[in-house]
Amino acid sequence: MQTLVCSTPGSFAWENREKPVAKKGHAIIRIKRIGICGTDLHAFQGTQPFFNYPRVLGHELSGVLEEVDPATGFTVGEAVTFIPYLHCGSCIACRREKPNCCANINVCGVHIDGGMTEYYQVPEDALVHGQGLGFDSLALVEPLAIGAHGIRRAAVEPGEFVLVIGAGPIGIGTMELARIAGAQVIAMDISESRLAFCREQLGIQHTIVAGKPDAVRQLAEITGGDMATVVIDATGNLRAINDGIQYLAHGGRYVLIGLQKEAFSFSHPEFHKRESTLMSSRNATREDFDLVIDNIRNGHIKPETYITHRSTFDQAPQEFASWLNPATGVIKAMIEVK
């Protein structure tokens, strides 16, 4: 089977590997869609933490079950996605029902090889029923679940102002789930075109261009002087993370979904005087996956609208570098596997 390997930063190589043979407790998926996210792009750039080369990328996946134990309730030929954060089940996080931050976690496409291949083996307990969704939507459940988890971490309440910094796929999904939670959502990004997408496709009323001298003033005007009670960074950009505290209301929560390699810092007095809550949000849980699927099925989220670029599996190595260029207008790239 054809497998695409990120051999070194900036370089892909094709390998012809043996089709996996299902181990006990595992299923085989014939991959149909591979969504490209920031993790994949950062890995290609060489800026992804927790990463070693060579590595097969890809964790936003959907496909058809080729082999599965029928006792699981899944059937051969069924369209599925899966939870790509493989946990140990015995560490302190797992015992406290937080498998998304397992101490021994293996994230597909990061710690272990991912799904840029024709057939992929996964634990049966990670499988997620397709519930009638198409392959595009199923591949996008995972990034939307990241946003769902961040909103749940923040305990977003109806009516409060939630500022999401970063209008990439993770930020967009976070905005969608904040809206569904009843928040008044504010989008911030350096890209005017991405902010236009938020207004036109997501119905986000309030948008702010990041880095402008009047960004703080604009936020104050939108919130009646209160600022945002929840600020969520979905950029993984060090400057954006460091600057985020200035947008936070007194008593507010600052949630870091985005990830980068360096140490972040901000003024202790500014953080302290607000009695701020700082938290990270890592990966997602089955509860988040289920919430996203429910909202796609009832029409509250239309993930196909995020897809701006497509590629066949064969052409993916030639197209991949272009998805790093903001000038291409990429929001979400999707690879189609025959």
Could you give the CA distance from residue 119 to residue 19 in angstroms, rounded to a whole number?
6
| 283-287: average pLDDT | 97
Using 50, 70 and 90 to split pLDDT, how confident is the model at 182? very high
pLDDT (average), residues 284-304: 97
Tokens representing 19 are 């089709």
Please tell me the predicted confidence (pLDDT) of residue 91.
Answer: 98
Residues 114 and 172 in one domain: no
Examine the domain organization and report whether 133 and 12 are in the same domain. yes
Measured CA to CA, the distance from residue 249 to residue 227 in angstroms comes to: 5
Residue 115, in any domain of the structure: yes
Residue 218 in this model has a pLDDT that exceeds 90: yes
pLDDT at 49: 79
pLDDT at 307 (0 to 100): 96
Is the per-residue pLDDT at 327 higher than 90? no
Which residue has tokens 């959502």?
Answer: 185
Is there a single domain that holds both residue 6 and residue 134? yes
Confidence (pTM): 0.94
Which residues fall within 8 angstroms of residue 21, CB to CB, at 6 or more apart? none
Q: What are phi and psi of 130, to 5 degrees?
A: -70, -25
pLDDT digits (tens, 9 = 90+) for 38-97: 889 988 988 877 788 999 999 999 999 999 999 999 999 999 999 999 999 999 999 999
Q: Where does the pLDDT of residue 333 fall: very low under 50, low under 70, confident under 90, or very high at 90 and above?
A: very high
Residue 286 lies in a domain: no
**pLDDT recorded at residue 18:** 95
321 with 244, same domain: the answer is no
Entry field: residues in the chain = 338
Question: Average pLDDT over the chain, rounded to whole?
Answer: 96
Q: Are 192 and 314 members of one domain?
A: no
Q: What percent of the chain shows pLDDT beyond 90? A: 92
135 lies in the same domain as 150: no
How far from 274 is each of 156, 210, 308, 315, CA to CA, in Å? 18, 22, 40, 50
> Closest Cα partner for 220 from 240, 248, 192?
248
- Please report whether residue 291 resides in a domain: no
Asked if residue 264 and residue 320 are part of one domain, the reply reads no
- Region 207-235: what's the mean pLDDT? 97
Could you report the per-residue pLDDT of 31-43, keeping only the tens digit for each?
Answer: 999 999 988 998 8
User: Do 131 and 159 have their domain in common?
Assistant: no
Whether 56 and 90 map to the same domain: the answer is yes
Token output for 46: 């060489």
Nearest Cα neighbor of 121 from 52, 58, 65 is 65
Determine the structural domain holding residue 96 and report its residue range.
Answer: 2-139+302-336
Is 287 within the bounds of a domain? no
306: CATH: 3.90.180.10
